Every structure is written in C-alpha cells, then in structure tokens.
Chain A
Amino acid sequence: MVVAPAARAPQRRRSAFVERALHRIRRDRILLVLAVPGILLILLFRYVPLLGNVIAFQDFQPFLGIFDSSWVGWDNFAILSDPAFLNALGNTVVITLIQVVLVFPAPIVVALLLNSLLSERVKRVVQSVLYMPHFLSWVMVVAITQQLLGGTGIVNNALRSAELPTWDVIGSQDWFFTLITTQVIWKDTGWATILFLAALSRIDVGLYEAASVDGAGRWRQLWHITLPGLRSIIILLLILRLGEALNVGFEQILLQQPAVGIAASEVLDTYVYNNGIIGGNWGAAAAVGLLKGIVGVILVLGANKVAHLFGEPGLYESSRSAR
C-alpha cells in the first residue's frame, strides 16, 4: 500500500496545496485507478492523433511519412481562398443552421408527446418503432431512399406508368437539403428522445399535482414545470451540438454525392476526403480539418461561457460556482 511520505517525515514542510492534493489522491485512489484505462484511451486516440495535425504545415505524402515530407509553412492555408472550399464552407454552415433549427428540437417535441401518452404499452411500442431507424447504417438509409424516391424507385415508376411527370428528388440540388434533413430526423430523432425522456422522468410529479390544484392547465404546466425541468439537459446538448457544428453527416452526404453533384453537396468533411484522401492533397486537407477543429473548440467554449453567464451549469460547473 502507499504509505504517505508526509507521515514518515513530518519535519519536512510542505505547502498546504500539496498536502491537500495528496490527501485527495489517497482518498480517491480506487476511483483514480478505475479511471486510468479511460484516460489512456483518450490520450491514445484523442490527444496523440492531434500531433498529426503538423501535416497541415507539410507537403505530406503518406508513403514518405511525417519525418520525410517537406515543410511548407502556411502554404496549405492558401486553400482557404479556394472557391471550392468556400462553397463547401457555405453548404456546411447552411446545413448546420437548418439542423440546429429543425433537427435539434425534434426529439424534444417527440419526448413531450410520448410523455403525455397515458398508456404505458402504447408508449413503449411507439418508442421502439421510433428507435429502430437509429440502428440502420447510412448505407441502408440511402439505399432505402433510392429504392423509394430514386429515378427508377417505387414512386417514380408509379408516376411513369400513370404517365405523370416524374419527381427527381435524389438528383435535385433544390431538394438536397430537405432530403438530408428529413433523413436525419427519421433516423435519429427516436434515439435522441432517450435523454429527454430520462430528464422528464426526473421531474417531481408533485409539482404537476400542485400546479393542477392551483388551476394550471396543460400548457401552463408545460411552460412552467416541464420545460424548466428540461432546461439543463437542453443547454448541455445544444453546447455539445455546437462543438459538432461543422460536422454534418459525412457518410450520409458522401453516399449521395454522385447523384446530386459537388456544387450542392460538398461540405467540409467531404471536401477534406475528396481533396485529401482521393486527391492526394493531404496537407491542405489537414489544414482545413485543423481549422474546423479550432472553430469547434471556440464554439463549445464560447457557448459554455454564455451558459455560465446565465447561471446554467453547462458542460461543467464553472470554477466559481463550484466553490
């Protein structure tokens, strides 16, 4: 067992800070040991790869490796003025906004609806049905969409045999954002309700009873009890979502890119893939990725700061409120 050095050498003076730290370590040693594997995993798979970002400053060739590729300074960042990059950035921002406005609130609404169902059985069945699509891979979702709405899909074949004009949803630039947003809502809304349902179940039923005794209707209960009860989790998830702001469904979009074309469908992730891995422009692609990461960090920290200003816990308790 660890024997505290302080006990053996009481004559040595230590600062209060070290004393306190040692005390905490001793107290929490079991928990710390349990955390070690997780910390190692995060270091290995999250922090060590960050070092790879140096290739943003190299003319990187994978067959030469980081040590033999030549250094080019900031040259790779010239790509930031490339029209194709700006187009990808524009698409990404638009899709992000659409998804924050339309996709993010969807599970909240569904959770509230589910919560208002009285029959437990119906609730469970509906919930299971809504979960299902989450377990389909994007390849499946895109294939189903194509079978349904593609040029020779069920809908268009039916229209054609009825001699009606066909509806080219899959290959249309105008419908692309609608299409992918619909897919995301269909696939992931049910899954995302889990957290909200959990939060709803934590709200004290007594509050509702008290409110209804005071004569509050369902809408007032929703506004004054349910939504305030969900506020912390909504803000937490919103902040996390902002951190992912510039990640907008890489797989989903890449799979549908050939049909709709680059102009409407290129987003930062596919731009990095098409330029870096396919085009061999590894350095420039890494530069874009690096920038994207920095923007994500700024958004998360910024949003967290704002949450603290409003007295919300955010991602973590601010150091001031913790004391």
Chain B
Amino acid sequence: MSVHNVVDRRSFLRAGLAGAALLGAGGLLAACGSGTATGAAAAGGRAATPTYVPFPGRPPADLPGNDFGLADAYLRYPANPQKLTSGIPGDGSDVTAMTLTYDPIVPGVDGNRYWQEVNRRLGVNLRMQQVPAADYSSKLATVMASDDIPDFVQFQNLPPSFPDLLRAKFEDLAPFLAGDAVREYPFLANIPEYFWETSVMYNGGIYGIPIAAYKMVNYLFIRDDIVEKRGLTPSFTNFDEFLELARAVNDPRNSQWAITHVIEPTNRAPAGAFGFVLQCMGVPNVWTQTDGRFSSYHVDPRTKDAIAVCAQLVKDGLVHPEAFSGATVDFVTNMAIGRAVMGIPGGLTSLPRFFNLSISPEMRIGGSKPVPYEADSDARGWQRQPAFSITGIKKGDPERTRMLLRVANHLAAPFGSEEYRFVNFGSEGVHWNADGSGDPVVTPVGKSEITGFGLPYIACPPRVLYTPGIADAVRRQHEIEASMMETSVGNAALGLYSETDGRRWAQLERTMGDAAAEIMKGNQPISTWDDAVARWRSQGGDQIARELEESYAASR
C-alpha cells in the first residue's frame, strides 16, 4: 500500500534545517485546478533562505488556524487599522507588471480612482497588464520570447526550462533578501521560510517572491440555498449519497446542472469532479513515496476508475454541457448564477468571487470534504503547494531592484493594517463603506476597479480567511477546511528535485489530461488510458520518478 505523506509545516521546517536539498518537483498541483509554482535549486552553493521575522501585533483570530496549515479566519476587519509604513517606496518611475486575473479587466488608470491612489501611495507609475487566466500561459510564453519583460512577472504554471529562463532574464534576489538581509523589508520577512524554500530557490539563488496559497481551499463548493430549496440536505457521508444528491438537484430543463465541470479545460489539471473523485478514492496527491520508491497518481489503478466515474457523470447528463470548453471564471459564474450547484472551480480562492458575481441575495455557499468512494476508501483532501505563484523581478541595476522590493514590501503589509485594507478593498467612501461594525462593505465601484486588478499577485502577506460581508460563508469554509486538514495529504515530491520534471512535466501533464478528457467526453474508450500511461512512462514519467528517488535518497 502506498504511504500517504502527510506534510505539515513542521516537517517542512525540519527538512529545511536538516539541509536537505529543498527543491520542488511538479509544476502542477492537481487539487487546485491550476498549477502552482514549485522551486528547484541547482546543485552547488545555495543562498540562505530569507529569515522569518514574524511581524508583531498580529490581531487575534476569530477562528484560529492550526499547525497543519489551516489559516486563521476573521469574521470582521480588526478595528482601527494602523498605518505600518511611512514614506513612499517608489521613485516616481514607470513600473510594469504582468499578472493573471480570473475576473473582468479593470477600467484604465484615467477612469480608475483605485489605480490613481495606488500610484500615489506607491510613488510609481504602475502599468499593470492583467491577463485572463486561461490565456496566461500563451501570453507568458510570447512575452518571455520578447525582450520586453515587465518589472514584475507572475509565474503560476511554470514555463518550460524555468530555471534557465530565470537565470537569463530575472534578478537573483539573494544579495537583497538572503538570510538577515530580508529584515530591510519587514513585510517580506513576515513570509515563513517554507514558502521561499518550496518556490523560489532556483539556481542556488532566490529568484522571486512567493505568493502564498491557501493550503486547502478548493474543496467541493455547494450552493446550499439551491439544495435546501428543493427540500434536500446539502451534505453527504459517502459517494453514493453524493451521486444521489447530484441526481436530485440536476434539472437541465431549467438550465441547472449538478456539477460545474469534470476537468480543467485549459491545462487539463484534475480539478472539478475528477479531483473530487480522486480524493474520495484516496488516490495520492500527484506523487507518493513508499520505501524510497516514487509513483505518480497516473499509474494508480484507481485513477482509471476515477476517469470512468467522471465519464459516467458526463454521460448521465449531470455535468454542465459546456464543461469542456469553459474557463475557471465560467465555472464560478455558473455556480454564482445557479446554472450549476456543485463544483471545484479552481483558482486561488473562489469564495469571494462567487459573491462578486452573484445577483441573488439568497446565495449561500457551503461545501463538503471528500467522502469515501467505497466503504474502505481512505478519502483524503489534497493539499496545495505552499506557493500559489511566484513573482519574478526583471534584471536591473541594484538601486532599481531595491525600489521594486520596497514596492513589493508595501504590498505585502500584513492583515489588520491600513495598507492591507487599502490594497484589498480600496478607499473608504469610494470603494467601500463601513457597516455598523466598521467592516468594509465593497461598493460596485470597488468591485469593478479592484477585483481584477491583481496587486496581491505581485506580493502578499501570509493568508488569512477573510471576506467582508459574508461572515457565515467564511465560518463554514473554516469549518470544512478544519475537518479535512488533519488527514490531508501533500505531494511527496515537494522539496525534491528532478530536472526532467522541470523540462517536461507541464507538457506530459497536459497530454495525460487530454487523454482523460477524451474518455470523459465519451470520445475514447476507457482502455485508451492504459496506452496513455505507457506513453507517459516512456516519455519522461519513469525518468522523473527515478530522479525523484535519487533526490530523495540524497536528502536522507
């Protein structure tokens, strides 16, 4: 039997202290529906990890997190937020940034008071390029092929030959951030070491700023209100009950389907129902390790079963008909407007997005952890990689790099500060109004000018669970995550290095996702999966496993 590698924060730190080559494998973490960045350092000298200096004065959480990585939750914004910075970080120059967005593009700077205020506060003329998430990989590939590289570039699905790309075009931040040097940027120092170690430590240096992910936020979301309106209970304890509920809420005649989608259409990551079924069956999170041997979820026989289950869901008409042609934003939208009742839409976090897009004041979002597929299934949630994405900084002279780091530092101001409130919600009276308890209630102007802006994808503090105005949904989210965090399973390859992985993983993963999608659509028989697995093994899968084994052995 495979051994589930339950990675918690302490084991990361232990591994780091033991001097293991903390290098990342895998470009994609399945459960989140879109890839996440992982780090990889070359052999040889490596820079010291930026020292973790927790910023003092963290406000007490309404619902505390835990050591397994559950984030602190806040039901309202801490009272009287203080300004933690003084002066202006920028030097008045143009600063370009390219980030992805799951939301509609924001209005241009001339008609966007948030943007104008951002420029004033940061002291730069910020030129943001927000790229729709579905197009980000292709946009990134063409921008990287040009000589016109933005100052800040978000990397989420890692491009091929990523370490070489970083070395050629991006600044090694080690001279500015390694060890105690990071203290000059106190909010970047407030990012725990394992985020750096698992995402940006390439080529022996530090090639970016980690954007922390929520450890586990993409459980199966459920429109509780729709389920209850039909006189049903939005919860289940095993997979058969899930299917029963899905059939009961499925109503295609009125354009309402049970499930948003089965597999991520753009990068074919096993998000959606596929991810949920895999977790219900207890399939390992991408890589599993037993006695030093590594094996991928592709070769697990249960993965084939999960694909067959998804194909059946599609065949039974329980999945929204545009599941294979939509994008993440469509799935969130479909749930928000009631076209779909259950789903794992992917992206960094869907909860606030549902409420931004919904027109129904009755909407309530609940959810479910993975439930046993069969009586003896070891259902476990999949943890995401620690970093959602990383932000590379373009090569430049040291003065400019310092200025850009000051800007990033400002954006990473911790939760509870006045800066955080501005970055995330804008200015009072324009983008939000205080409710009775002083919580920022976002206005329509705030929604349109800020939601898709993307500043938190340049730099952000460690995550908390907080969305103004939906305290109940946040409470429910915290509860569901708490229930799955302890037994959740990490990717066994995290912190290990495989060169083949860096070069080939994304493409191999896409090929496998295509094979799975063809079966789920009913275009190909399930038997084609075995051929796909055989191809995957010969085209690099086995090689990656061997390299991970070597890396694992070396780290012992």
A residues near B (Cβ < 8 Å) are 61-64, 83-84, 146, 150-152, 156-157, 160-161, 163, 166, 168, 170-171, 173, 258-259, 261-264, 275, 277-281
Contact = CB atoms under 8 A, between A and B. Distances in A.
A84 B255 CA distance: 37
Interface string B158-169: 011100110011
Contacts, number: 85
Interface in B299-333: 320-325
B556 interface: no
A168 B321 contact: yes
Contacts of A166: 321
Contacts of B321: 150-152, 156, 166, 168, 171
Interface string B161-180: 10011001100000000000
Contacts of B324: 171, 258-259, 261
Which of A63, A146, A277: most chain B CB closer than 10 A? A63
A62 B140 CA distance: 12
B138 A64 contact: no
Contact of A280 (B161, B518, B523, B524): B161
Leading 10 A-B pairs by shortest Cβ distance: A151-B321, A280-B160, A62-B145, A259-B325, A63-B168, A151-B322, A279-B507, A258-B265, A262-B514, A261-B518
Nearest to B524: A263
B161 A61 contact: yes
21 contacts: A61-B168, A63-B144, A83-B535, A151-B322, A152-B321, A160-B252, A161-B253, A163-B253, A166-B321, A171-B325, A258-B265, A258-B325, A261-B517, A262-B518, A263-B514, A263-B524, A278-B137, A278-B141, A280-B159, A280-B161, A281-B507
B506 interface: yes
The B interface is mostly helix, strand or loop, or mixed, namely helix
Contacts of B506: 279
Nearest to B134: A258
B409 interface: no
Interface in B503-544: 506-507, 510-511, 514, 517-518, 521, 523-524, 535
A168 B511 CA distance: 24
B266 interface: yes
A152 B255 contact: yes
A321 B523 CA distance: 55
B346 to A, nearest CB: 15
A262 B265 CA distance: 12
A204 to B, nearest CB: 53
Contacts of A163: 253
B220 to A, nearest CB: 22
A261 B523 contact: yes
B142 interface: yes
A63 B169 contact: yes
Contact of B145 (A63, A150, A156, A275): A63
A152 B518 CA distance: 20
Contacts of B169: 63
A280 B161 CA distance: 8
Given A150-B321, A152-B255, 20 more contacts: A61-B164, A62-B145, A63-B164, A64-B168, A150-B322, A151-B325, A152-B322, A157-B255, A160-B255, A171-B321, A258-B265, A258-B325, A259-B322, A263-B514, A275-B507, A277-B138, A277-B141, A280-B159, A280-B161, A281-B507
Contacts of A277: 138, 141-142, 145
Contacts of A150: 321-322, 325
Contact of A63 (B142, B165, B255, B320): B165
Contacts of B159: 280
Contacts of A261: 324, 514, 517-518, 521, 523
